A = this chain, B = another copy of it.
Amino acid sequence: MVHQNAKKAHEFAEETVGSLMDFDFICVPETYTVSETFKYLRKNVHGKANIHYSYVIDPLGVLVGVLSLRELLGADENAILKDIMAPTTLKLSYDLDQEKAAKIFQDSDLVTLPVIDTNGRMIGVLHVDEMMDVLQQEATEDIHKMASISVDEDEEVKGLLESSMGWLYKKRIGWLVILVFVNLLSGAGIASYEELLNQHIYVVFFLPLLIASGGNTGSQSTTLVIRAMAVGDVTMRDWGKVFAKEALVSFALGITMAAAIAVIGYYRGSDYGAGTETAIIIALSMVIVVMFGGLLGAIIPFVFRLFKLDPATASTPLITSICDIAGVFIYLGIASLFLQL
């Protein structure tokens, strides 16, 4: 049975435990004594690397326990394995996602975990060093997604130098074109205030600054939430806490940024005889835009996860683009309220 499964190794799905496991391991019957186990080990360990544990199976071949070589060395020679083994509470199913396996390794301090088939029989072992590559690869995938670079989950991440220009183009063009059309809405927003701008062109002066501030705050909050979700620090049920915290933090950020820019707004506006109005418009817009960005960035990853999408797809360029649109309407809306009274 074990042998048959082993032969199918190449058929295990990508990014699962099965595709990463090693077939060098030692299994002994639970009825063996420690000295019988040593005899068996001496005969069978040659040429096998990374043997740190001896796994124990019952008469049906089902994995029931484990002993490290260190524990065997410390045990009485005549003890029966069944009586001294630790039950294998941690075992990985061959079809488990590699990222979940990495989390299990992080929470345990074992260097090797046994892999079992659907009948509980042991078919391989997974070593912790494979998990380092997995963690690194998953982090790279998330980082790329967060910069609106498409990631194909079933494809290995290629190095920047090895990857072809066609491949890089394909990974990048999709979101860029989508974002062009999203940003078209900002332009449409501006156009809808054509009359305001014709009368008060200096209003445009503060536009890039205000919309960028919303996007930057949103980039920060979405990044904090996406990463916290990825490392298991934040789960779906934390959304209320995260949202409330972000409301307060982004309010404080907005007030600070408003104070920094209101003075400049006053002087700039004064040239056009509207110093106070401009300062108020800009300060008020800044607080609202920054809070909008911060809260949008914090909540979008939860919404994506709710719809079973990867939260990392809430890329910072996407958040920035949505904040741009909102920023145009918030700022120009407030400006027309004050200036066209």
**Chain A residues at the B interface, C-beta cutoff of 8 Å:** 38, 41-42, 45-46, 48-52, 68-70, 73-74, 102, 105-106, 108-112, 127-129, 131-133, 135-136, 139-140, 142-144, 146-149, 159-161, 165, 168-169, 172-173, 175-177, 179-181, 183-184, 186-188, 190-191, 194, 197-198, 201-202, 204-209, 211-213, 215-217, 219-220, 222-225, 227-228, 231, 233-234, 238, 241-242, 245, 248-249, 252-253, 256-257, 260-261, 264, 290, 316-317, 320-321, 324, 328
Contact = CB atoms under 8 A, between A and B. Distances in A.
Task: Please tell me how many copies of the chain the complex holds.
Answer: 2
A309 B165 CA distance: 29
Contacts of A180: 209, 213, 257, 260-261
Contacts of A112: 111
Nearest to A195: B201
Contacts of A211: 208
Contacts of A186: 208-209, 212
A316 B223 CA distance: 11
Contact of A219 (B74, B177, B231, B316): B316
B139 A324 contact: no
Contacts of A191: 202, 204-205
Given A45-B70, A260-B177, A132 B133 contact: no
Given A132-B102, A225-B160, A253 B176 contact: yes
Interface of A (DSSP majority class): helix
A43 to B, nearest CB: 9
A80 to B, nearest CB: 18
Given A132-B131, A211-B208, A69 B42 contact: no
A46 to B, nearest CB: 5
A213 B179 contact: yes
Contacts of A238: 161
B52 A69 contact: yes
B316 A109 contact: no
A197 B204 contact: yes
B105 A148 contact: no
B143 A223 contact: yes
Nearest to A171: B220
Contacts of A321: 212, 216
